[in-house]
Chains A and B, each alone.
Chain A
């Protein structure tokens, strides 16, 4: 008996230590960014020499970063409503539909997740060239729609799959048309998924870089794309400050998602 008790304790503690190590690994670079953003000196020395907000001030004072922050926010606002409508329809169709080819449709809707971002970016870049939309807001908007759409489909589909199909039949038998049943029964029950989808789309749009790099023009530089370009030249604490702001925005969005939707079902 005693031996098995010791075994169990050893197993439990080694598991906890492993989890702690992994958590530390996951958090390390994020902490490093946040800490260095408050560094008073123009370097990335650890431990930092002093505390200051100067890099945040610099980020907002410089027009380039301020423009990107504004553009990223604006772009997310333009992307979210469209993805939410498309994703709600798509997620509902693949999860609650009963037509042939539903599996194929589901693969199509989730395909952008499986295609490497670099390839999607290249494909969109080439397409936008033929449409004459390279560097335009429309171009990057379209790219963000494609990239975030599958995430929204997935969350809504999880919600839709848990809706009893009998409810729609009940509505129909009570005299509701198909559209009325969809709007008065399905959509209200999809609400948690739709809201989670909206926030998730925000997070994806705010952070997207692999595809955006290809389609962004000189006037359509999102924050991640600017970080990407800046970090290739010379890293400076301003990048850390802007990254921290981006991080805070994402954390806020996740915290809000969690209020409506069990985050573990996102993926």
Chain B
């Protein structure tokens, strides 16, 4: 009898009930604000940059017409490309070491060092670069001790310092994704390559590099999209005058109080970022498709 009285099998599939609360949360706290921001970017404004009723593209028009806004997006794009490529190149030897080293101790130590900046606040790291590159900082002290220069050089507020600081912020992302993907390469393939007479360099370029493309593209996408929106590091290291989209958005929103304009610039930045990421993904899938077909 107990069977007849028992409940009917639920029609919900596994995980659906669990998904309800987080989905509602994400809609309320993330999707709704973003939609609100999108709507804000389509509002006309008065002289005080206060949004008015109605719909218009004039905010986007303004972003396009204002030279320094347009170039800030292009400068962000250019900086992000440089940062991404640098991270990719620098990440390889470290990821390779993490995967190949036989010393557990060395791996743990290097891994901890790679993670440490990642889990440290961006402000702390930027502040650190301020100290390092400051007039009396270790770099200047070293240069003077080596008698390369007599007076301290103004290293701060230079494009190169900002570039280094951003690479510092984002390099761990590249190393970690790449390590995961290199770790997935079967050791036997490397032994097979050596057995077939390939040198280490040859093995790297003909086996390791092609097989790490999926991890590489994933890492590049993360680094690139984070670089596109970055503003705290350039602001603290390079100052508010740097031409970067993230900084301009922050400036428009918090200093000039032109929220609709900042909203429009945000969506322009997001669109450029997504398109570039799609291109990176396309590059990745083209490379790996050729591999699976060949």
A–B touch (CB < 8 A): the answer is yes
Interface set of A (CB-CB < 8 Å, partner B): 4, 7-8, 11, 15-16, 18-19, 22-23, 25-30, 32-33, 36, 43-47, 85-87, 89-90, 92-94, 96-99, 102, 105, 108-109, 111-112, 114-127, 130, 142, 145-146, 149, 153, 165, 168, 178, 182, 203, 206-210, 213-214, 223-224, 227-228, 231-232, 235, 239-240, 243, 246-247, 250-251, 253-254, 263-264, 266-267
The reply to whether A116 and B123 contact each other, CB–CB distance below 8 Å, is: no
The reply to whether B19 and A231 contact each other, CB–CB distance below 8 Å, is: no
Q: List 16 A-B contacts (CB under 8 A).
A: A16-B97, A19-B110, A26-B113, A26-B172, A32-B138, A44-B134, A46-B137, A89-B18, A92-B15, A99-B15, A115-B229, A117-B229, A118-B266, A119-B249, A125-B253, A253-B119
The reply to whether A116 and B270 contact each other, CB–CB distance below 8 Å, is: yes
The reply to whether B124 and A33 contact each other, CB–CB distance below 8 Å, is: yes
The reply to whether A44 and B137 contact each other, CB–CB distance below 8 Å, is: yes
Which residues of chain A are near B173, meaning CB under 8 Å?
267
The reply to whether B123 and A45 contact each other, CB–CB distance below 8 Å, is: no
Classify chain B: how many residues form its interface, as a range: 35 or more
What are the interface flags for B230-242 relative to A under an 8 Å C-beta threshold, 1 for contact and 0 otherwise? 1110011000100
The reply to whether A116 and B124 contact each other, CB–CB distance below 8 Å, is: no
> Which residue from chain A places its CB closest to the CB of B51 in the assembled complex?
A126
> CA separation between A16 and B128, bound complex, in Å?
25
> Which residue from chain A places its CB closest to the CB of B131 in the assembled complex?
A32
Nearest CB of chain A from residue B40's CB, rounded to whole Å = 6
> CA separation between A79 and B226, bound complex, in Å?
23
A118-B250, A224-B121 given as contacts; is B29 within 8 A of A92 (CB)?
A: no
Q: Residue B137 contacts which of A4, A32, A92 (CB distance < 8 angstroms)? A: A32
The reply to whether A105 and B253 contact each other, CB–CB distance below 8 Å, is: no
What are the interface flags for B190-219 relative to A under an 8 Å C-beta threshold, 1 for contact and 0 otherwise? 000000000111000000000000000000
Interface contacts (Cβ under 8 Å), in number, total: 282
> CA separation between A114 and B40, bound complex, in Å?
21
Question: Which label, helix, strand, loop or mixed, suits the secondary structure of the B interface?
Answer: helix
Nearest CB of chain A from residue B48's CB, rounded to whole Å = 15
A92-B15, A240-B127 given as contacts; is B26 within 8 A of A126 (CB)?
A: no
Interface set of B (CB-CB < 8 Å, partner A): 10, 12-19, 21-23, 25-26, 29-34, 36-37, 40, 90, 93-94, 96-97, 110-132, 134, 136-138, 140-141, 165, 168, 171-173, 176-177, 179-180, 199-201, 225-226, 228-232, 235-236, 240, 246, 249-250, 253-254, 259, 262-263, 266, 269-270, 273
The reply to whether B199 and A4 contact each other, CB–CB distance below 8 Å, is: yes
The reply to whether A119 and B29 contact each other, CB–CB distance below 8 Å, is: no
> CA separation between A213 and B179, bound complex, in Å?
33
Which residues of chain B are near A87, meaning CB under 8 Å?
22
> Which residue from chain B places its CB closest to the CB of A10 in the assembled complex?
B200
Q: Residue B22 contacts which of A90, A111, A165, A227 (CB distance < 8 angstroms)? A: A90
Which residues of chain B are near A206, meaning CB under 8 Å?
121
